[in-house]
Amino acid sequence: MTMFPFLKDNITALEKASPALYDWLSHSQFDEQSLKTAVFVNRWGNIDWRIPGGPGLFEAMPPGLLYRDWPNMDKPDLSASIIIGCNVGYGLNHLLVKSPDSHKILVIEPNAELLLACLGQTDYRPFFANKKLHFLAPNEEHLNEYIRHLDLQYVYGKIYLRGDIPSRQLGPEYARWTETVKNRLENFSVEMVTLRCRQDVMVGNELKNFRRAQADGSLLPLKDAARGVGAVVLGAGPSLERFAPELAANPGYALYASALQTLPALRRLDLKPHFCLALDYDGSMLSVYNRLDEEWASDIPLIYSTKVNPEVVRRYPGPTLPLWTQGGLGTFAMQDHEFVLDAGGNVSLTLVRLLRWMGASSILLAGQDFAWKGGSTHAMGHHAAGREVAFDPAMHQRLKNLWGEEIISSVQYLTSKRDLENDIKKAPFRIANLYGGGVVIEGAPAVDLGQARSEGLLACAPGSRERFLNALGQARGTAKAMRFEPRSHIWTSSFRGLEKRMQKLFRQCGQSQDEIHTLLEQALFFVRQDPLYLPYLFNETIDLAGLAKTRRSYHPADLSEFKRIGKNILAKVREVDRCVGGLDDTNAA
């Protein structure tokens, strides 16, 4: 194929560099003859791609003007670019040659034929080899995996989203993927801010909750225990005031679940859930006890994320069960021992995911407004109710609900709604929304209470709810205790050795630049190698990676920074050992 001189070599290299993309291309349908005719030399003398039934992508304007500004970036050596649409390579190639080798470039091309045309024009093997260039399969899971590895670029540089304008002439999929990546980057930003600012708190809570969680039990017996159960997830939106009294008077045979923070509002409305969930990690959760009727709540089981403040769990008057969630000890240390949930950032989303894992047959959302009218953001009884919220155009949006009324939502609400909508797409059962005037939730049809009853959304298969509640009660005390060997003595010895070698190198800092960089890389490798300690060392790992991977040269002040990081690391390692290491042998697995 004379128009595609580099195709074979690039495809061969991609089999190793990007197996997911190679697999996607292997299973894509395309016509070799149409591929040959689509690539042509246009009137400007440039290789071009013919739009079906029309001109070439670059007939109207030569590519040089379109991509001239792409390399103009802050901190390009510490940053990354994500390109949506590669055409035959013009924008991509311009960015490749005009950016430093350390600049990461991710490319999503949803058109398999056009991707093959691009791979045929340029030898990308050197850029695969130095890990500068990554072609991604048009798959959200593949995208998420790559974005998760852009933490250094987020902290020390920027992540640039480049939507290829000429490619949009080919169809709406390019705009859709640009929006998908934009949304994912927004979520990633929230995750990174949370991790950077709150990871120490969240994992610190996990460590303090560890022995309590071991004693409380395990959710593992609840896998598929809710088969045949119709569930209702109760939120604290303003519409809860409208529906809760009717549900309390005639609850049907559904299983009701809510957030812990919603219990005071539900008590006021006389609607009692079968269990509740605590997810938020900060101390503000304790304010729920200022309004909670503890006697009323004493028989409502609490499923608590192990990342919540331990005092929230200690003060709860009813039975408690732990939920291990991703992002801390759950991801690295508990994955092979317990059910570990990707909880998301919103308690209603967590409940939907948990109920799906439990095998529920349907879910009805109630009080899930993700918006408000006037100043009423929550149902009365919730800790956020009664606060006047002034409209802030930087944080809020004015929208119309299904009834044509103006409502207000926030960036946080809309992000949570989008996450819920993405989850609904994966649900193998029906999810509906008991609509009370909030935003529309795509994938969850709006229903009124009469429809919900007539369509069986408040019903369960005979005996299924009772079987589930019995399994929930029996899950307490079922966890197998685990014992982790303390390893702080190994860490202390290793870091003291690294520090002594580093001090010696910094005495001749100017002549030891390469050796300092090598030693920092070794220290970073050492810190990353132990999954038990890694979650608690997130900030120290990022700081150490900043020294190892973002410095062009080293100065004496960097030694002080290395010592500071090392001191924090050893203090945290000793804390992990105190909390999860050295349990009595009688409690060992």
Q: Are residues 227 and 161 in the same domain?
A: no
Is 13 among the domain residues?
Answer: yes
Residue 2 is inside which H or E element, if any?
A: none
Q: What is the CATH number of the domain that holds 119?
A: 3.40.50
Residue 447 pLDDT > 90: yes
User: Mean pLDDT across the stretch 8-24?
Assistant: 93
Q: Are residues 235 and 156 in the same domain?
A: no
Is 196 among the domain residues?
Answer: no
Cα 359 to Cα 223: distance, rounded to the nearest angstrom: 7
Is 521 among the domain residues?
Answer: yes
End-to-end Cα, the chain, rounded Å? 62
Q: Are residues 137 and 269 in the same domain?
A: no
Q: Are residues 154 and 244 in the same domain?
A: no
Q: How confident is the model at residue 2 (pLDDT cuts 50, 70, 90)?
A: low
Cα 308 to Cα 588: distance, rounded to the nearest angstrom: 25
Cα 449 to Cα 459: distance, rounded to the nearest angstrom: 13
The three-state DSSP-derived secondary structure of 358-378 is HCCCEEEEECCCCCEECCECC
Of 154, 170, 186, at which residue does a domain stop? 170
Strands 80-84 and 104-108: parallel
Is 587 among the domain residues?
Answer: no
Cα 88 to Cα 413: distance, rounded to the nearest angstrom: 39
pLDDT given for residue 587 in this prediction: 36
Q: Are residues 20 and 104 in the same domain?
A: yes
Of 430, 452, 475, at which residue does a domain stop? 475
pLDDT given for residue 585 in this prediction: 37
Residue 467 pLDDT > 70: yes
Residue 588 pLDDT > 50: no
Q: Are residues 471 and 491 in the same domain?
A: no
What does the pLDDT look like over 479-535, one tens digit per residue?
A: 777 778 889 999 999 999 999 999 999 999 889 999 999 999 999 999 999 888 999
Largest Cα span, the chain: 81
Q: Are residues 153 and 211 in the same domain?
A: no
User: Mean pLDDT across the stretch 360-375?
Assistant: 90
Is 586 among the domain residues?
Answer: no
pTM attached to this predicted model: 0.81
Residue with tokens 């292997």: 26
Q: Alpha carbon of 552 to those of 5, 181, 516: distances in Å?
A: 37, 31, 12
Residue 275 is inside which H or E element, if any?
A: strand 275-278
Q: How confident is the model at residue 194 (pLDDT cuts 50, 70, 90)?
A: confident
Greater model confidence, 326 or 178: 178
Q: 39 is written with which tokens? A: 């690539």
Is 350 among the domain residues?
Answer: yes
Q: How confident is the model at residue 82 (pLDDT cuts 50, 70, 90)?
A: very high
What does the pLDDT look like over 195-229, one tens digit per residue?
A: 888 889 999 999 999 999 989 999 999 999 999 99
The three-state DSSP-derived secondary structure of 404-473 is CCEEEEEHHHHHHHHHHHHHHHHCCCEEEEECCCCCCCCCCCEECHHHHHHCCCCCCCCCHHHHHHHHHH
- CB contact at 8 A, 40 and 68: no
Q: Are residues 356 and 209 in the same domain?
A: yes
Secondary-structure breakdown of the chain: helix, strand, coil percentages, each rounded to the nearest 5: 50, 15, 35
Q: Are residues 498 and 471 in the same domain?
A: no
Residue 230 pLDDT > 90: yes
Cα 424 to Cα 446: distance, rounded to the nearest angstrom: 14
Q: 340 is written with which tokens? A: 């570990």
Residue 395 pLDDT > 90: no
Q: Are residues 466 and 521 in the same domain?
A: no
Q: Are residues 235 and 323 in the same domain?
A: yes
Q: 350 is written with which tokens? A: 């967590």
Residue 110 pLDDT > 90: yes
Q: Which residue range is the domain that position 72 belongs to?
A: 6-170
Number of domain units in the chain: 3
Is 520 among the domain residues?
Answer: yes
What does the pLDDT look like over 407-421, one tens digit per residue?
A: 989 888 888 898 899
Is 192 among the domain residues?
Answer: no
pLDDT given for residue 53 in this prediction: 82
Q: Are residues 507 and 373 in the same domain?
A: no
Within 10 angstroms of residue 583's Cβ, the number of other Cβ atoms is 16
User: Mean pLDDT across the stretch 331-337?
Assistant: 79
Within 10 angstroms of residue 251's Cβ, the number of other Cβ atoms is 13
Strands 275-278 and 302-305: parallel
Cα 368 to Cα 417: distance, rounded to the nearest angstrom: 9
Of 455, 475, 495, at which residue does a domain stop? 475
pLDDT given for residue 519 in this prediction: 96
Cα 252 to Cα 254: distance, rounded to the nearest angstrom: 6
Lowest mean pLDDT among 163-172, 303-312, 368-377: 368-377
